[in-house]
Structures are given as C-alpha cells and as structure tokens.
Chains A and B, each alone.
Chain A
Amino acid sequence: MARSSLQEVTLADTHALAIGAGILGTGGGGNTYIGRVWLEHELKKRGGSIPVIQVDDVPDDALTVAIGGMGAPTVGIEKFPKGDEYQNAVRALESHAGQKMFALVIGEIGGSNALRPIICALQMGLPVVDGDGMGRAFPELQMDTFAIAGLSLTPMALSDVHGNVSILHQADSMYRVEAYARSLTIEMGGSASLAMPMLKGKELKETIIRDTLTLARDMGDAVLKARKRGLEPSDDIAALGHGRVLFRGKITDVERRTTQGFARGKLKLAAFGDPNDQMEIVFQNENLVAWHNGEVVCTVPDLICIVSLEDGEPIGTEMLRYGLRVAVLGMPAPRELKSVAALKVVGPEAFGYTEVTFAAMPGDLIG
C-alpha cells in the first residue's frame, strides 16, 4: 500500500497518532490518552508543529537519543509529569557527551511512549525521526533493535518531577541497565522519564525500524475514517500492517496473576454465533501467543492487537474484561525483530513459552 510519509505532527494528527500507537501497543505500552492530551496542550500553548524527518536525513556523526517513560501505567494515570523531565534528561546527556542532539528518536511506537518524544521535540525545537526501536510495545528496555544490535544502552539518563537527573554512565550488561533503571524508577515514585540509548546517525540508520510513526498515523486515520462512515475498521487496520483479522468474537474469560512485577494472564474468546469456535491469548503486559481452536496462529514478536469491534479503539490488557466484543488482529513483526539474534530476546521462548516455536506470519510490518 503506497503511503505518504508524515512530514510534521500538528494538532490535526494527535488523535490518529494516539489511536495508532495504542493499536501498535499490542495490549501493552500504556494508554495514549494522557500523552495525547499533553501533546495537544503543548501544541495549543506553544503553537507550531513538530517536524518529522527520515532517518536518512540524519548525518552519520550527528547525535540522537531515544526517550520514553518508565514505570507503572497506573502511576501514569494518577501522577503526571511536571513537563520538563524529558528535556532535563536529554540536556544531561548532551552535556555528558559534549554534543547537541540533532533529533529525537521514539524508543517504542506502541502505547504511551510514542507521544513522549514528540512532546519533548516540540519543547526543545528538535525534529523527531520517523521510526522506532520496536515497531510495537515490549515490556523491557533490552527488547529494542538498538540493544539487540549490541549498541550500548549507556549512558542513560533518568529524571523525575523534582528535577533530579541521574546518569548511568556504564553497565556490565543490558540486564543490569534494566534492573538499575527499574530500582531508580521505584524510588522516583513508580514512574520516571528516560533518555537512552544515545545513537549516532550511522548507528540509527543500521538499527531503527523505519516509518512506524507514519504507520501509527495511518492506522489511526483508518480508524477515524471508518468511525465517520459507521464501518468496522479492523480489516483496514490489519491491511496497513500487512496482516489479517485473526478472530472476531466476545471475551468469555480473563484470568490474571502477577509474577515478578509483570501482569500476566490468559484470555478466552468465542466467535459470534458459534461458541465452539474459540481463541485463546496469553499476555504479559503485551499479547504474546494466540491459539485458534488449539492451533498457534500468531506469536510474539508478530503483533497481536485487540481492538473494540465497533469503533477500533485499542484495548489494553489492563482493560480486558468478560463480555467485550473485539477483533483480534495479527500482523507480521518488522523484519528487524525476526533475526536469530532478535528472536533470542523477543521470541516466544524469551517470554517463557518454550513449547511454542515462532512461526512467522507472511510478510513484514513495514515495506
């Protein structure tokens, strides 16, 4: 499908972006409502727009950094940022590196983290790059293409509402970065603002998943257009991501438990009119594996997205409940997540599903 790349983010794009990012959240990534309202508020207050650039527009030796929020979604809907935390983190890295940032990068296009870099870019007068490190949402820092490629996650900056900024200069492993960042986040009140990894233009070109910001906008646009015409948007959304609708039905059971700080659970669905036609999905913040009548039909890192049947509103795993009428969309992962190295980090086995092998859906999310 031929699409035109997003050139800038204006007030007219915020709604579509929030919906599209929500869909790409594959059940996790956090609600995009707060981010959308924040972005709209900043755009109204400051005027203007945020330029969107292609990764090829970034000179090889120019510096960029990815940013995003870290912490519990429930804290995110109660204790909002002050507003300058991301800038503080980015400025700290600039002074640490002795070089100004050329552009900001979206670490995770899925969910609330898609909008944070756009807000920060507006505040700092920087462009944002069309693309991201996941093409979806994942629960851990080391699950992006930058880390998978072996790029250093440090130096990393983490900041809070009080103006405290911490830089982790060096770490012996990416797991340690994740662990330290998580401890600090708890101390900072359960949510914090994160800037990492810092990337040269050359590194960014080799690792970023391209065009995902445009994809999010297009998915959101498809939803908004379908709503206006009173149509069900599921097929259009799936087609934009080169996937298909895996299932339409009602949620008949949601089972949850919490282990090691992650919200895990299992979801059961039954088709309309045929209770024996069933789907089962397991999730750990994000949707991970889908079985249709006992057969595996989609597994992480391919995208399993659940949207409200009538209006295409993305449904996060925290909102899943008995009786919701939904469409389950399956979309192939971006090709960057399907290498042997990547699958070690983001394949079903990495999430503890040793009995499930990754059988890729045909095609790629982008391309």
Chain B
Amino acid sequence: MRIGIDVGGTNTDAVLMDGTKVISSTKSPTTQNVSEGITKALKTIIEATQLDVSKLDGVMIGTTHFTNAVVERRRLTPTACIRLGLPATVCLPPMVDWPDDLAETIGRNYYLAHGGHEFDGREISAFDPDEIRGIAEQIKAKGLNAIAISSVFSPVNAVFEEKTAEIVKEVIPDANITLSSTIGRIGLLERENAAIMNACLRELAVKTVSGFKQALRDMNITAPFFISQNDGTLMNADFAADYPVLTFASGPTNSMRGAAFLSGLKDAIVVDVGGTTTDVGVLQQGFPRVAAMAVDIGGVRTNFRMPDTLSIGLGGGSLVEAEPLKVGPQSVGYELITKAKVFGGDTLTTTDIIVAAGHEDIGDKSKVSDVDAVFAKAVEDRIEEMVNVAVDRMKTSATAMPVIVVGGGSILIQRKVEGASEMIKPEHFAVANAIGAAIAQVGGETDRIFALAEMSREEALEQAKREATERAVSAGAKAETVEIVDVEEVPLAYLPGNATRIMVKAVGDLAGA
C-alpha cells in the first residue's frame, strides 16, 4: 500500500492506495510548518482506516515548498558559482539576468575559470587545478559552502565539473555542491541557473526532508518515502535532499497524472479546478504535454520540462459580482469555508451559485435562496464560456477529445465542454494530485549531442536510451520495468558530421513498492 500526499498552497491532500484502489482520502488546510501538515494528514488517514503502517510500501510527497522559497526569497542559502569555460562566456557572467532582489539574497558570488568543452568534445581550454584551488580558497574565505559548478557543454562531457567538485571538496570538506550536468540540459545560462537555485535550496531541502522523515517516524512509518518531480516521476528522499530544484511545478503534473490514472485515459484534456484557479493541461500517452518555451521560476529563466498548462482565474472560491457580471479572478481561496454564503459568510462565490442553481447541496442552501435564477444562469453561462475557451486553447486539434475534470472545485463544471467527446469526473476527483503522487514512477533523462558521422543513428539512439535507463535505475526504478517514454531528435544546423541533439526519457516502476 502507498500513501500519496500533495502539499499545495491552500490544501494538503492525502490518499491511501492499495495497488490501483483508493482506500481513503483526506483534505486539510496547509500549515505554515509543512511537516505538521503532513503529520496531520497522515494521522487522519491512518485513524480513518485503522491502517497497520507496517504494511505501507512507500509514502509519496508532492510539495511546492521549494518553489515557494524561491518565489518568496526566503530560507535561501548564500551560494557561490564556478563556471568553467574561459576565455569563452565572459560576456554573460553567471546570474546576469536574475532579478536583483533574488541575486542579492544569495549573493553574486561567481567565479570564471578555464576549462569547458566544444560541441564536439574538444577542450575550450585546459583545466587548471591550481586555478580551481585558488577559487575554492576565496569561497572558503567568504564562508560559503553552497556551491554550483557549471561547465560549457557539460551535457556532452561533465569531467571538468566533476574534477572541480573534487578539488572544492578538498578545500571545503563540508561543501554542498551541485553540478549543472546532473540537473539541466543544453543551454548554459538556464542549466547554470537551475544549478545555482538548487545549491541555494540544498540546506532547506536537507532540513525539509529530515522533517518529513521525522513526521513519518512519529507515525511509526518505516516505509521509504519519495518526492515528486516536475516530470511526474519520483525521487527517493536522499536524492530529493540533493536535488530540490527538480520538485518545481510537480503540483500540476501530479494532478494530471492522477487524472490519467483515475480515468484510465492516456490522451485527454485535464481541467483541474481549485479554489482560486483552474489549470487546463493536455495528457499525451499518459504524461502531461510539456511547454516549448523557457520557463521562469521566481523571475529566473530555466529550461526544465514543465507541463504546458493554462491557468485561468476561476475556482470554487471565485468572487461573483452582479453589475457588470464578473466571475473571478479574485477569490476567497482557503477561506471559502467561512466566507462563502452557504457557509454562513457574506461573500457571493461560484460555489454559492452552483448550490443556488440546485446542482449541489453544500453547506446551508437556504442562505442562497435569494439568488435570482436568471442571474445564476448567467453566471453559469460565463463559467461555461471561460472553461470552453481555455480548453479550446489547449487542444491540439479540432477533433473532439475526452475532458477529465478533477480538483476540489470540480462542482463548477456542470455542463459539457465544447469539443469534448465525453466528460469524465472520476471518483476521488478532489484528490487527483495526491493520487498522482502515489502512483508516480521513477524516471531518468539524457540530453546530449551525438556526431552521427562517428556512429550510426541507431547506435546513438541506443546509447542515449541506455544512459536514460541507467539514470532511471539509479534514481530507484526497477530495471526490468524501465520503458523509454520520450525520444526527441533535433538535427543541428550548420554543424558538420550530422551533429544531432538527442533527448531521451525513461521511466519505470519504483523498486520495492
């Protein structure tokens, strides 16, 4: 059995699953101290089901904790960055395009050194151990131990990043080092940005992960626990403490994966209605379609593969105004249970309209008996229009597709969405995100340039697939279950030898669960 927990900005959801069956679920407000919220959710689930915790195979946690830390510029550790590539890359130093407040929070402590590779594996300049040692001494003198290391074309050859890490460790034994090659893809600034963000989150990650561990220990849970990544796969606790940056945007991914699981569909539109926003995304072969553009996190450009979702200001707590008719984007959010009319408050929300229209019986419906039926219908029309437009914008073709509706605010969707072949509101729709966490697999990715003059395309693909598979296994996947789920080849213009960039993603079932 597994427990999946999703710690969102508003609610902490948890589910207990036995294989593919949902045994129990719970939803409670997220607490300031994330571990306390998790403990509370676990307690509720365990008490409700009289669960023998020794039967648990794993606990999967999805959290926005680290994204929020960057967005709020809090709990970040001052960090140094060493980039290898001199004499190249001087024109754009590390953190050059960061928002000033964030850059100042962690300091612009960057150092450029010789090294780096060309696209074809040649060295840009020789690696100089003494130069690195000198830089490490300077970093040590500043009292910094969070360090990001990047090197030009390290996705092609990471050896200089690794050598640098060794030397830094000699000088600063307790250094907390992040190598860009272990995190990102081609695109030096974006990969380096991710490495720096990861380095500045490591201290928080170690604390948070040990907080989670403590929360589990308090409940006598000895099963391993995992944290969700943005691509819908899991990492084990120790890996998560090392790579907190990989949790960014795991929330929308989890709810889409949960929707796929609950509906049994692999290709569909997912409409996730929360308290404040509705996120619309597209499932392709069971995974969220990823965004093509660079993604900003807290104002910093990254090249993570984020789910391509469209967020609109419509949720169960959205404010409804009469003249002129307005629905959202303002929302009472987590205060819905005190502020909405049906709950005895004085704010008219979308939830009140749905109750007034007689679709649902939530709270005290007599409190909305004064809502005019014509007005309620007009609001419903507006909600329908908002959802229709959002779904149409995300669709990949005019062909009708199934629409899966999930999330706590799903009651808003009472009508068939335009262009939907069918409407599915699966059981347990309100906790799809926690289910997505519970059922997640383990993945590995590779992104490299291959010279097809030196090997055949088949050999290159084979090698890329092998690397991705190895990464999946080292992240905790059962080797025999690993499948290649995504292969992308981009021929590189202007380069000789048929240079081709190959990106491969592999996923497999979690070992021991």
| Chain B residue at minimum C-beta to C-beta distance from A325 | B393
Q: Are B494 and A182 in contact (CB under 8 A)?
A: yes
Q: Are A190 and B88 in contact (CB under 8 A)?
A: no
Cα distance A79–B186 when bound, in Å?
Answer: 10
Q: Does B90 contact A (CB under 8 A)?
A: yes
Cα distance A323–B292 when bound, in Å?
Answer: 10
Q: Which of B118-126, B208-216, B421-429 lies at the binding interface?
A: B118-126
Q: Does B325 contact A (CB under 8 A)?
A: no
B395 to chain A: which residues have CB within 8 Å? 250
Q: Are A75 and B119 in contact (CB under 8 A)?
A: yes
A324 to chain B: which residues have CB within 8 Å? 292
Other-chain contact of B120, A34, A139, A190, A273 (Cβ < 8 Å): A190
Total number of B residues with any Cβ neighbor in A under 8 Å:
52
A250 to chain B: which residues have CB within 8 Å? 395-397
Cα distance A37–B490 when bound, in Å?
Answer: 25
Q: Does B85 contact A (CB under 8 A)?
A: yes
Cα distance A72–B282 when bound, in Å?
Answer: 32
Other-chain contact of B398, A74, A189, A270, A322 (Cβ < 8 Å): A270
Q: Does B153 contact A (CB under 8 A)?
A: yes
Classify the secondary structure of A's interface with B: mixed
Q: Which of A4-12, A235-243, A252-260 lies at the binding interface?
A: A252-260
Interface residue ranges of B490-505 to A (CB < 8 Å): 490-496, 498-501
| Chain B residue at minimum C-beta to C-beta distance from A252 | B397
- Known pairs A189-B122, A190-B118; A261 contacts B91 (CB<8 A): no
Other-chain contact of A162, B87, B120, B492, B498 (Cβ < 8 Å): B87
Binary contact track A39-82/B, C-beta < 8 Å → 1, others 0: 01110000000000000000000000000001111110111111
Q: Are A272 and B124 in contact (CB under 8 A)?
A: no
Q: Which of A126-134, A313-321, A349-357 lies at the binding interface?
A: A313-321
Q: Are B396 and A79 in contact (CB under 8 A)?
A: no
Cα distance A79–B116 when bound, in Å?
Answer: 9
Q: Does A38 contact B (CB under 8 A)?
A: yes
Binary contact track A119-153/B, C-beta < 8 Å → 1, others 0: 00000000000000000000100000000000000
Q: Does B49 contact A (CB under 8 A)?
A: no
Q: Are B187 and A263 in contact (CB under 8 A)?
A: no
- Known pairs A83-B90, A272-B392, A323-B289; A78 contacts B153 (CB<8 A): yes
Q: Are A80 and B397 in contact (CB under 8 A)?
A: no
Other-chain contact of A37, B97, B124, B489 (Cβ < 8 Å): B97
- Minimum C-beta distance from B29 to chain A (A): 33
Q: Are B494 and A190 in contact (CB under 8 A)?
A: yes
Q: Does B399 contact A (CB under 8 A)?
A: yes
Other-chain contact of B498, A73, A258, A274 (Cβ < 8 Å): A258
Q: Does A161 contact B (CB under 8 A)?
A: yes
Q: Does A168 contact B (CB under 8 A)?
A: no
Other-chain contact of A77, B90, B187, B399 (Cβ < 8 Å): B187
- Minimum C-beta distance from A13 to chain B (A): 17
Cα distance A275–B400 when bound, in Å?
Answer: 11
Q: Are B186 and A77 in contact (CB under 8 A)?
A: yes
| Chain B residue at minimum C-beta to C-beta distance from A185 | B494
Q: Does B152 contact A (CB under 8 A)?
A: yes
Q: Does B513 contact A (CB under 8 A)?
A: no
A154 to chain B: which residues have CB within 8 Å? none
Cα distance A186–B294 when bound, in Å?
Answer: 27
Q: Are A79 and B88 in contact (CB under 8 A)?
A: yes
For A182, A257, A261, which residue has the most chain B Cβ atoms within 10 angstroms? A261
Q: Are A262 and B493 in contact (CB under 8 A)?
A: yes
Q: Does B188 contact A (CB under 8 A)?
A: yes
Q: Are B186 and A74 in contact (CB under 8 A)?
A: yes
B501 to chain A: which residues have CB within 8 Å? 74
| Chain B residue at minimum C-beta to C-beta distance from A274 | B398
| Chain A residue at minimum C-beta to C-beta distance from B97 | A37
Can you name 5 A-B pairs with beta carbons within 8 Å?
A41-B92, A74-B119, A74-B186, A79-B152, A189-B119
List 4 A-B pairs, minimum CB-CB distance, nearest first.
Answer: A258-B491, A83-B91, A275-B398, A161-B88
Chain B contact residues, CB within 8 Å of chain A = 85-93, 96-97, 116, 118-120, 122, 124-125, 152-153, 186-189, 282, 289, 292-294, 301, 308, 392-399, 449, 489-496, 498-501
Given contact pairs A250-B395, A323-B396, a sample of 7 additional A-B residue pairs in the complex whose CB atoms are under 8 Å apart: A72-B494, A73-B494, A74-B492, A78-B188, A79-B124, A189-B124, A273-B392
